[in-house]
């Protein structure tokens, strides 16, 4: 890690990087934590909607 607030994470074979903006001593090279949360929620909602629509035909 090159910045004090940079975090690498792994889930199975997938990996990612979270960071903060340069103004807050970050490197701005990864997603910000709130962006990860927003992406997780949006992904969950989209997948759920697609599953429901597939069942309806």
More confident call, 29 vs 15: 15
Domain membership of residue 2 (yes or no) is: no
| Interatomic CA distance for residues 27 and 23, integer angstroms | 9
Number of domains the chain contains: 1
Task: Report the percent of the chain where pLDDT is more than 70.
Answer: 88
pLDDT at 43: 97
| Interatomic CA distance for residues 5 and 28, integer angstroms | 10
Q: Once rounded to an integer, what is the mean pLDDT over residues 1-21?
A: 86
Domain membership of residue 48 (yes or no) is: yes
Which domain range does residue 22 map to? 7-56
Domain membership of residue 1 (yes or no) is: no
- Quick one: which of 14, 5, 3, 11 has its CA closest to 33? 5
With a CB cutoff of 8 Å and minimum separation 6, the contacts of 29 are: 2, 3, 6, 17, 19
Residue pLDDT, tens place only, 25-47:
666 778 889 999 999 999 999 99
Domain membership of residue 25 (yes or no) is: yes
Domain membership of residue 11 (yes or no) is: yes
């Amino acid at each position: 890690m090159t910045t004090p607030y940079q975090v690498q994470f792994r889930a199975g074979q997938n990996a990612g990087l979270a960071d903060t903006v340069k103004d807050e001593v970050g490197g701005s090279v990864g997603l910000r934590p709130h962006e990860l949360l927003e992406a997780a929620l949006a992904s969950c909602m989209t997948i759920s909607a697609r599953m429901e629509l597939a069942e309806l035909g």
